[in-house]
Every structure is written in C-alpha cells, then in structure tokens.
C-alpha cells in the first residue's frame, strides 16, 4: 500500500460548505470562547480569529509598524510566496536572513549581527517554525527584548508543538496559527493571532469589523479543491491511479501535473491587502475549528512516533536527516525531511520502488532576485525530500520507506 505524501486531516469540507450555503451567517459564534479554553489561554492571553494566517501576520505587522514607526521586518525566505506581500501591504520592508547550514532554522548569529548595526530600523522579526521548534528560541526572544523588536511567531505548520512543555503559541509577542485546508486543524480557511497585547487584539477586531463573513461563494473554490484532493488521496484511488499518474508526470516531466502537486503557487505582487482576503470567519468555520482542537494532541503524538521511527531506522549516509529532535523543542512533526545531493536520482529510485514523497517543502522566495543572499536556504530548498508521517500511515508502510531509502546508492 502506498501512502500519499500529504492527506487532509479532519477538515469538515461538506459540513462547513453546506451549512454556510443554507444558513444565514451571524458572524462570530460563542465557539470562540470554547477555542480560547481549548488553547488553555490565561486571562492575560488574548485571541483574535482571522480569515487566513497570512492576514493575521499582515495585521500584526500593520499594528507594529504604525506604533513602533520601524518598518524593517526580519524573516526567513523559506516560506510561502505571499509572505512578502503581507509585509509590504502592512507598510513593512522585508529583510531576509539566512538559515544555519543544512537547517530549517534562522541563523542566530546572523540575526544578532544584523541587529547590532541596524536594530533602530527593525520593528519585527517573524520566526517561522517548521518541523520542530527552533532550538534557539530563547536566545531569539532575549535578543528581541533587548532591541525592543516585536517577535511574531509563524506557527502555521506547528500547531500542537510545545517548548519546555508549554504550547509554542504562548511564546513571543504574537503567534499566528493557520486553519487552512492542509493544516492539522482546518475550517477550509482560517487563522488566529494569540498575544498578551490587548491593544493588538482591539486593533485586529476593529480592522476586521466591517469585513464580510465568508460566504458559500467564497468557500466554493477550496471546497472543490479539497474534495478533489481528498478523492485523489483516497487509499484505493491513490494506489490504483493517482500514484501512477504522479510517477508518470515526474518521469516524463509533465508540467501541468507537476504544478498541481506543488502547493505553493507563484503570486502577483500586492501592495495592499486584496479584497478577497478581507473576510471574517463564519460561525460554522469557527465551530469546526473548535471541534477539531481536541484531536490535536493525539495526532501530534502519532506523528512524533512515526517521525522517531524514520529517524531511528534511516541509516543511509547519502541521505541526511534535516531535523533532529531534542527534549526541549518538541514539534508539530508535519513530515520527515531529508537532504540528498542528487535529488533527481533519489526521487527516481523512490518512484521506481513505489514510495510517494515530495521534492518540495518551501521555496527560497528570494531566489533569482536581487535580495537573494540566503544560500543555505536555497541549498535546503534544492535538496529537500520529505516523507509522510501522517497519523494514518501504518508501521508497515514506514518500514517499506526505510528499506528503500536505505537501499539507495549514489
């Protein structure tokens, strides 16, 4: 049985879409309080829901830039292409910082050196966590405090992770979660900002106040996209048809099929927040988020077990494990990434042995532009391959992955 590289979690596509279609939206439901409780927020920690995580980041940055009057925003270029738009449309100026060698983590020394000379113009740092939490998080927090830089954590793909046993979204000045279709908790679209700064929450609520709630029309495209995705990753369809099509597309470089597999489309430059981003979650989306949060912990633990299995048994020296786990920095464990020098030949070997995998995580969004100084990010992005560790994957399938990864010869 071949397990697809990515599967949807419990996104209630039909329920959210059809309830939105047939019922009149009344705006935010009281489920927002349920979400607050499920996230174990204290009295001093506040929550605002946003239509997308990226809009949450945009709103946080608009607030910071207008209050601190400092426009520069430091971030990793290993992210979604729209991130630059979210910074520019908030009035910010993105400054890209490289990762450490062969790592998904921002290089702490580079941040420190940059801030030493330029801290007066830097208003915020976006810290994106990937498979596990950046192990230098405490040092980064201290640095941000020292220079009064607002630390925004992008927790889009790490919801469920903890640092020193405390949920990661409780660190930093603001943390942003994503509930888009591919996330562990999903309501077709959705995001949240968590912060101790009450004024930030008031700013987000006031800005969103006149935005329309998501209508069925707004959700239609993603409802169909999600339904198609769910169909092609269905166990039987995937094994009989989809995997063979994917392998064929890769082998013969069939562009349109390959593009369909890469979930990070190029985006046009946007200097202002697009009209279709200005939405509020409707009550069905909010309720759906609340209903899935209780499943988060168990799914995270299952992914962690799968991650540790691959980490332990993949021993091929030609396949470098990109991420390791330590006791403090637990993760969301979205997938199991490795680095290989000859990705084309490794990928061919995997397809020949009927292993689904992805050769794409995030691009270096500055690649080929004047701003591209992040060689380590390009190097990771060009050599990465990841394997699924989804809670539904069976141990026998992981063993097959291990066997064929270990049998790969350069």
In angstroms, the CA 153 to CA 270 distance is 22
**Closest CB 360 distance from ligand PLP, rounded Å:** 12
> Closest CB to ligand PLP among 52 and 163?
52
> Closest CB to ligand PLP among 179 and 307?
179
In sequence order, what are the residues at sequence separation of 6 or more whose Cβ sits closer than 8 angstroms to the Cβ of residue 336?
131, 306, 307, 310, 311, 386, 387, 388, 389
**Closest CB 122 distance from ligand PLP, rounded Å:** 20
> Closest CB to ligand PLP among 180 and 366?
180
**Closest CB 49 distance from ligand PLP, rounded Å:** 11
In angstroms, the CA 194 to CA 177 distance is 8
> Closest CB to ligand PLP among 178 and 280?
178
**Closest CB 130 distance from ligand PLP, rounded Å:** 7
* C-beta atoms surrounding 395 within 10 Å: 10
> Closest CB to ligand PLP among 157 and 310?
157
Which residues sit at the interface with ligand PLP, rule CB under 6 A? 52-54, 79-80, 128, 154, 156-157, 178, 180, 191
**Closest CB 280 distance from ligand PLP, rounded Å:** 14
> Closest CB to ligand PLP among 115 and 152?
152
- Nearest alpha carbon to residue 203 among 150, 156, 154: 150
**Closest CB 322 distance from ligand PLP, rounded Å:** 16
**Closest CB 224 distance from ligand PLP, rounded Å:** 17
> Closest CB to ligand PLP among 208 and 397?
208
């Amino acid at each position: 049985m071949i397990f697809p590289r990515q599967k949807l979690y419990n996104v209630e596509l039909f329920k959210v879409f059809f309830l939105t279609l047939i019922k009149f939206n009344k705006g935010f439901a009281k489920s927002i309080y349920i979400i607050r409780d499920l996230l174990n927020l204290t009295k001093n920690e506040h929550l605002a829901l946003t239509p997308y995580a990226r809009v949450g980041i945009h709103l946080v940055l608009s607030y910071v830039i207008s209050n601190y009057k400092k426009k520069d925003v430091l971030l990793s270029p290993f992210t979604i292409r729209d991130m630059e738009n979210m910074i520019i449309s908030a009035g910010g100026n993105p400054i890209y910082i490289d990762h450490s060698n062969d790592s998904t983590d921002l290089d702490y020394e580079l941040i420190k050196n940059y801030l030493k000379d330029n801290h007066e113009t830097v208003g915020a740092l976006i810290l994106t966590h990937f498979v596990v939490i950046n192990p230098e998080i405490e040092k980064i927090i201290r640095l941000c405090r020292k220079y009064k830089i607002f630390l925004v954590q992008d927790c889009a793909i790490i919801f469920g992770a903890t640092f020193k046993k405390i949920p990661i979204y409780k660190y930093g000045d603001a943390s942003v979660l994503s509930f888009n279709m591919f996330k562990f908790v999903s309501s077709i679209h959705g995001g949240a900002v968590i912060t101790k700064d009450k004024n930030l929450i008031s700013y987000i609520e006031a800005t969103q106040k006149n935005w329309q709630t998501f209508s069925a029309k707004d959700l239609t495209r993603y409802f169909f996209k999600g339904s198609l995705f769910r169909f092609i990753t269905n166990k039987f369809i995937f094994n009989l048809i989809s995997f063979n099509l994917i392998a064929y597309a890769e082998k013969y470089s069939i562009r349109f099929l390959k593009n369909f597999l890469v979930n990070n489309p190029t985006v046009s430059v946007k200097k202002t927040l697009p009209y279709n981003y200005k939405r509020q979650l409707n009550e069905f989306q909010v309720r759906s988020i609340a209903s899935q949060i209780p499943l988060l912990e168990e799914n995270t633990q299952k992914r962690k077990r799968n991650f540790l299995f691959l980490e332990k048994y993949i021993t091929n020296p030609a396949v470098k494990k990109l991420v390791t786990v330590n006791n403090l920095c637990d993760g969301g464990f979205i997938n199991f990434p490795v680095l290989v020098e000859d990705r084309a030949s490794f990928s061919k070997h995997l397809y020949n042995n009927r292993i689904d995998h992805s050769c794409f995580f995030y691009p270096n969004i500055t690649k080929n532009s004047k701003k591209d100084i992040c060689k380590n990010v390009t190097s990771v992005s060009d050599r990465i391959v990841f394997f699924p560790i989804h809670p539904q994957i069976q141990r026998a399938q992981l063993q097959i992955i291990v066997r064929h990864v270990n049998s790969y010869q350069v």
